[in-house]
Structure 1
Amino acid sequence: MPPPREEHQQLLLDRDEVQEETAYESTEKVHIIGVDGDEEGGDWAKTPPFSWKKLWLFTGPGFLMSIAFLDPGNLEGDLQAGAIAGYSLLWLLLWATAMGLLVQLLSARLGVATGRHLAELCREEYPKWAGLLLWAMAELALIGADIQEVIGSAIAIKILSNGFVPLWAGVVITACDCFIFLFLENYGVRKLEAVFAVLIATMAVSFAWMFGETKPNGVELLLGILIPKLNSKTIQQAVGVVGCIIMPHNVFLHSALVQSREVDQRKIGRVREALNYYSIESTIALAISFMINLFVTTVFAKAFYGTDIANSIGLVNAGQYLEEKFGGGLVPILYIWAIGLLAAGQSSTITGTYAGQFIMGGFLNLRLKKWLRALITRSCAIVPTMIVALAFDTNEDTLDVLNEWLNVLQSVQIPFALIPLLCLVSKEEVMGVFKIGPVLKMVSWLVAALVIVINGYLLLDFFSSEVQGWLFGSLVSGFTAAYVAFIIYLISRGITFWNWFGFLQTKKFTNTGN
């Protein structure tokens, strides 16, 4: 049963007392109330009837969120899974996308129900030292993702220019999208979302074209989706498929993006309405992202599975190998691949800049102008990316090794986004009536545990082959001990809060006569 109206209003008042930084100004939000004869008044607990027009107005944040499922790092994981494991891991791609959808729906739920995003709530929830450590982890994950995205764009630009534009110059060109992003944002949220829709459509058309050109086996594709298969030879690719789906910065991003719509949080019915529309929109967006990832995986499964070069394919040489395999056509497949890769890289770098603003602003409670925050967050990624581009422009093997290290960097950060999210959405003091129930909580923690264990396996496998010498081994062991201790702290603090915070609050209100 929902709490009494007075308790719901008190919860909102308590939030307003501490609210400082917001994701969007009221003038920036998309107006929803009043559509299809919807009135300002009405029953505070009644959910308005479904409206196609409202669904259209709520559509946008989920598609921006879905970009993280389509960034160059994911595309590289797709092509390697296809080349090495064939069609056998398509079922895992499907279930990994479903797990990612669950996590993103919880992130959206947190943002809509509280009117705050995850970084803000973490700043209030944890002691200052823990909050700063979580911020550092989120920034490292974002930098790692952004380096992959920027280099992916630079590779595409190099291909489309027939090698005329070197990698470092492609990085500079990609860096300028920050200013394009700022320019578009000035014209409204919907304009920016329309640009992302065009980029996603470009990816869909490019990779669907490749799918049609290569003509993968339809029966094997269907069996790969429906029948789970896993063996010792494909376990590393399986871990990569799951590890690429859940991106730490994307968990923070989605909780902020959903606040771009005008939702009256004083009315439970309005909040429930927004959650329903965001659930539909996010599901559609990730269904499209699944199809795009499916296209890439099956193209490379058809082309290179079982060949001698399957283990040597990466973003740098994938287009060239496709060209050698399938030759030209109306449009050479090399350029189709590069166009899709460019759309993926450009869109993901812009959402990375967006996420960086929310993460830095939320954790540090910065009151900077958006252009300055964007410039700072962009520089955090561009400076190391430029160094990488200058150092590795002509060394494809080194770029592939770098990509492995960046994947590890992001895998390390996953618990520090998932655990705070699950702790917060389970707390009535934060979520009110919209806290998740016991069944959803159990499923969510099982998914989180599975993702963390899978990424733990990736880290163990990586460092067991990379760690050499007692000094490096000691450093890794010390880091691992501190890493595990912090995870245990986050989990135990969340459990303690669930068990005791409600009691303390009740006692407080009783003593004050409330």
Structure 2
Amino acid sequence: MKNGVVKMEAEKVEYGGEQGWKRERTNSSLNEVNKSIPVKKTGSFFRRLLSFMGPGYLVAVGYMDPGNWATSIAGGSAFGYTLLSVILVSNLMAILLQALAAKLGIVTGRDLAQACRDHYSKRVAFFLWILCELAIAACDLAEVIGSAIALNLLFGIPLVYGVCITAFDILLVLLLQNKGFRHIEAIVITLIVTIAICFGIEMILSKPDMGAVLSGFVPNSSIISNPKMLYISLGIIGATVMPHNLYLHSSIVQTRNYGETAEGKKSAIKFATIDSTVALMMALFVNAAILILSAAAFHTSGHKDVAEIQDAYHLLDPLLGTGIAAIVFGVALLASGQNSTLTGTLAGQIVMEGFLDIRLKPWVRRLITRLIAIIPAVIVTLIYGEKGTGQLLILSQVILSLQLSFAVVPLVMFTSDKKKMGEFVNKPWIKWLAWFVTAIIIVLNVYLLWGTFF
């Protein structure tokens, strides 16, 4: 009997059991939708993949939010196509980290917030929660401002009223989640496709130099030697890899009912990784397209100091010689802001429930998240106007950069722990690559913060 118990415990550790955690798992992540979506366990590869597709696109939304637009526009207008290589490298970093986040959620049954709570002391977990809430508020701030700017540009709605209108999108989130998680995924994918089509049109209208575009994806030593170029590069990386996405992804992959066996988890990891990789490649296209548009429309025409979204909007039509370019740009911005709102409010719920093991009604949690973003946005807009919103957008990206290391380090540490992950622990080359990426992120973000404040 004793040998049987030992054998059972060994099997439990094999696929990542409870032995590696200081506290036992108490609740499922996003309990109302956890394991709510059945997946195909047999059939063709593509039919099985289709049942897993969705979470990756919710994650990809954070990589093309309005905060990314400002850095890509600034980089393209100032340095042409040179910084495309930075967007590519940051996207590859994101693909690795999101794959690790998905694996953590599938193997342990914990999202990253729950994992931190069950590993660290209560004080450390509370500190990490505060930092994460600041990051989510900063991200939500960028989405609120982005949507308000889009409403102002497209319909002439004053920024203050636009900021207030965005508060009502929490009703949309509630309606969709009550109908099932697949409805949220469907609207997010629809908005992503809208953004991609808009920038496809912009690419055609701007007629970029394709030779220069391709060479821009090759790393250039001038990026390091030019301080201004390096600073904008750091901003692009800081705006691309979003900390709240790691918490989000580790949770929403668990909406699939993949089974708690080693084989079920192995299959889920494979398909979830493919899902997020494909979705992030679409995000790469969007971010690259923003920079390419900025380079083709502004840099080549001598407008090398365009950094504000509003300036880009007003300059597009006269520079490209068409009346549709600015409208398409505005529609894409509105879709981006609204899309990011959906995922940002979900991340807020995951983080509060995960770190504190406390559950609020979804509408209460989302109203809190929205008010934290709307109040400073309204105050700054009233006092400083358009220029103030642009500065607030930059500040939101700095806050996100500050928090990023506190999400990446635990993620890499947990997924590299044999006791927590069992047979799914990171392979040595993945482990060292992940720590190398983590070190790069920490160094770059420290440099970015130093440059911003000093």
For normalisation by structure 1, the TM-score amounts to: 0.82
Is the contact made by 1:58 and 1:261 (CA closer than 8 Å) also made in structure 2?
yes
1:375 paired to 2:370: no
Aligned to 1:402: 392
1:6 is displaced (CA, Å) by: 4.1
1:275 to 253, 269, 288: 269
1:252 maps to 247
Match of 2:406 in 1: 416
- Cα separation, 1, equivalents of 2:22 and 2:304: 56
Q: 1:455 corresponds to which residue?
A: 445
1:158 aligns with 152
Tell me if the contact between 1:111 and 1:255 (Cα under 8 Å) persists in the aligned partners: yes
SS at match of 2:257: coil
Find the partner of 1:243 among 233, 238, 246: 238
From 49, 72, 77, the equivalent of 1:83 is 77
Give the Cα–Cα distance (whole angstroms) in 1 for the partners of residues 219 and 235 of structure 2: 19
Q: Secondary structure at the match of 1:328?
A: coil
Residue identity matched to 2:408: L
The residue that corresponds to 2:91 in the other structure is: 97
Shift of 1:406: 2.1
Return the offset for 1:328. 2.7
Percent identity of equivalent pairs? 36
Name the counterpart of 1:442. 432
**CA–CA distance in structure 1, aligned partners of residues 114 and 105 of structure 2:** 10
Pick from 163, 182, 188 the counterpart of residue 171 of structure 1.
163
- The one-letter code matched in structure 2 to 1:255 is S
Deviation (angstroms), 1:430: 1.8
Match of 1:352 among 344, 356, 366: 344
Q: Report deviation, 1:390.
A: 2.6
* 1:218-243, Cα deviation, whole Å (9 max, x unpaired): 11001111353424141122111211
Gaps of 5+ in 2: 1-5
Q: 2:118 aligns with which of 112, 115, 124?
A: 124
- Aligned partner of 1:509 in structure 2 is none
Contact 2:74 2:307 in 1 (8 A): yes
Match of 2:28 among 22, 34, 50: 22
Q: 1:328 to 1:159 in 2, by over 3 A?
A: same
Greater gyration radius: 1
User: Per-residue deviation at 1:21?
Assistant: 2.7
Q: How far apart are residue 456 of structure 1 and its match?
A: 1.1
**Structure 1 residue 217 corresponds to structure 2 residue 220:** no
In the alignment, the residues of structure 1 paired with residue 11 and residue 56 of structure 2 have an alpha-carbon distance, to the nearest angstrom, of 27
Instruction: Please tell me whether the aligned partners of residues 58 and 277 of structure 1 are also in contact (alpha carbons under 8 angstroms).
Output: yes
**Secondary structure at the counterpart of residue 313 of structure 1:** coil
Deviations 1:357-383 (A, max 9, x none): 001111111122222222222322222
Using the alignment, how far apart are the partners of 1:124 and 1:73 within structure 2? 32
Please give the alpha-carbon distance, in whole angstroms, between the structure 2 residues aligned to 1:177 and 1:16: 39
Q: Which moved more, 1:80-89 or 1:372-381?
A: 372-381
1:139–1:444 Cα change, 3 Å: same
Task: Say if 1:24 and 1:219 are closer, same or farther in 2 by CA, change over 3 A.
Answer: same
Note the C-alpha offset of 1:7. Answer: 2.0
Residue 370 to residue 399, structure 1, CA distance change in 2 (3 Å): closer
Q: Quick check: 1:32–1:54 contact (8 Å CA) kept in 2? A: no
> Do 2:104 and 2:250's aligned partners in 1 also have CA atoms closer than 8 Å?
yes
Residue 404 of structure 1 aligns to a residue in which SS?
helix
Alignment partner of 2:380: what SS? Answer: helix
Query: Relative CO higher for 1 or 2, CA cutoff 8 Å, sep ≥ 6?
Result: 2
Distance 1:268 1:280, change over 3 A: same
Q: Residue 8 in 1 paired to residue 11 in 2? A: yes
Check if 1:333 corresponds to 2:325: yes
Preserved contact between residue 105 and residue 251 of structure 2 (Cα < 8 Å): yes
- Structure 1: how far apart are the matches of 2:408 and 2:148? 31
Q: 1:388 aligns with which of 376, 380, 389?
A: 380
> For the residues of structure 2 that align with 1:12 and 1:235, how far apart are their CA atoms?
44
Shift, 1:349, TM fit: 1.2
C-alpha deviation, 1:127, in angstroms: 1.1
1:4 positional shift:
6.0
Q: 1:366: which partner in 2?
A: 358
CA contact (8 A) 1:141 1:249 kept: yes
Secondary structure, in 3 states, of the residue corresponding to 1:234?
helix
- Residue matched to 2:65: 71
The alpha carbon displacement at 1:244 in A equals 1.3
Q: Does 1:287 align with 2:289?
A: no
| Superimposed CA distance per residue, residues 284-332 of structure 1 (whole angstroms, 9 cap, x where no aligned partner) | 1011111111111111101111655422431122100112312334xx2
Q: Is the counterpart of residue 189 in structure 1 residue 181 in structure 2?
A: yes
Structure 2 equivalent of residue 490 of structure 1: none
Could you tell me whether the CA contact under 8 Å between 2:25 and 2:118 is conserved in 1?
no
Judge conservation of contact 1:84–1:306 (CA < 8 Å) in 2.
Answer: no
2:131 corresponds to which letter in structure 1? M
- Structure-2 separation of matches of 1:368 and 1:403: 29
Q: Deviations over 1:184-229 (max 9, x none)?
A: 1111111110000110011001111111001100110011113534
Report deviation, 1:102.
Answer: 0.5
Tell me which residue corresponds to 2:3. none
Q: What is the rounded CA distance, in whole Å, between the counterparts of 2:445 and 2:24 in structure 1?
A: 36
- Equivalent position of 1:208 in the other structure: 200
Checking the alignment, whether the CA contact within 8 Å between 2:77 and 2:306 is kept in structure 1 is no
SS of equivalent to 2:123:
helix
Aligned counterparts of 1:16 and 1:268: Cα–Cα separation in 2? 23
Amino acid at match of 1:131: A
1:336 shift after superposition: 0.6
